[in-house]
Structure 1
């Protein structure tokens, strides 16, 4: 698991670093990727980046097993991409801010097809406006994010939600299509109140 990489004891780290370096060297040799320091890329990850569709990973980024990444994609420092995440930057790209977490099975596609009823689907034009995900965001398991969306800083997208429109900073969204159900900025006060109520009722 990617998070185990960052908690390895020195003896294990000394063994694992050359192994991880070989994985990253192989990627650099065949793909248009930039990889920051102390990153972890699972050997089962699938990363595809052509010269005009690069992938840039900041420092301490982790990419889990069976994740699929097709550029253009830029991941900021301390971003984690869990197993079986699928990301395709289309032409306009996907940008993910510092410290964001993308949970298992999320699907993020920065392109869409036309739906002209007079033409077959296989001949429809492909459009790409790009996707921007802010810093310190939690994208939960199984989330879908469609092209043209911006997700604000510190937001939370609940499990299985499908995001079809912009999400404000600090918002918690859920559902299909996703809608705002709360604010993450309120959660600290709520936890304090719950804790106080429990203490009072306990005597």
Structure 2
């Protein structure tokens, strides 16, 4: 798992760093790929970039096995992309803020097809408005995020949700389509209150 990389003991780092450097060297040979320092990219990850569709990874980014990334995508520092995540930036791109976690199997697509009933689906125009995900966000397993969406800083998207419209800062959203069910900014106070109630009832 990607997070194991950052916890390696020095003796194992001596073995692992040259192996990881070879993987990243192959990716850096592609003109449109930029990789920051101390990143981890699983050898089974599939990363595709091309002119005008770059992939930019900040420092300490991890990309898990069988993740699929097609630019334009920019991942800020300390972003983790878990196994089997699928991200396609379309034309407008995907931007992910620092410290965000994207769990296994999430699907993030910054493009969409037309649905004109007078035309077959294969001939429909493709449009792309882009996706922006803020910093310190948790995208849980199996989440879908559609084109044109902005997810605010510190938000949480629950497992299996499909996000079709903007998510405010600190919001917790769930469901299909996703809707606000709470605020992450309230969670610390709630834990403190629960702890206090338990102490009182037990005393």
Asked whether the two chains share a fold, i.e. TM above 0.5, the reply is yes
Give the unaligned 5+ runs of structure 1.
none
Take 1:111 and 1:61, find their aligned partners in 2: how far apart are those partners?
24
Q: Counterparts of 2:52 and 2:167 in 1: how far apart (Å)? A: 29
Aligned equivalents of 2:20 and 2:51: distance in 1? 23
* Alignment coverage as a number of residue pairs: 203
CA contact (8 A) 1:137 1:155 kept: yes
Post-superposition shift, 1:31?
Answer: 5.5
1:132 Cα offset (Å): 0.1
State the 1:30 CA deviation.
3.4
Conserved in 2, the CA contact under 8 Å of 1:31 and 1:48? no
Residue in 1 that maps onto 2:94? 94
State TM-score, norm by structure 1.
0.99
SS of the residue corresponding to residue 105 of structure 1 reads: coil
TM-score normalised over the length of structure 2? 0.99
Following superposition, the deviation at residue 28 of structure 1 comes to 1.5
Given that residues 173 and 179 in structure 1 are in contact (C-alpha distance below 8 angstroms), is that contact kept between their aligned partners in structure 2? yes
User: Post-superposition, which runs of at least 4 consecutive aligned residues in structure 1 deviate over 2 A?
Assistant: none
Match of 2:9 in 1: 9
Take 1:194 and 1:31, find their aligned partners in 2: how far apart are those partners? 53
CA change 1:68–1:31 in 2 (3 A) is farther
- In structure 2, how many angstroms separate the alpha carbons of the residues matched to 1:37 and 1:30? 17
| Aligned-residue CA RMSD (Å) | 0.6
The separation in 1 between residues aligned to 2:182 and 2:52, in whole angstroms, is 39
**Cα displacement string for residues 83-102 of structure 1 (whole angstroms, at most 9, x for unaligned residues):** 00000000000000000000
1:116-157 deviations in Å (ceiling 9; x for gaps): 000000000000000000000000000000000000000000
Q: Render the CA deviation track for 1:61-84: whole Å, top value 9, x for unaligned.
A: 000000000000000000000000
Whole-Å separation in 2 of the counterparts to 1:53 and 1:88: 10
Where do 5+ consecutive residues of structure 2 fail to align?
A: none
1:172, 1:106 → 2: CA distance? 16
Cα shift at 1:27: 1.1
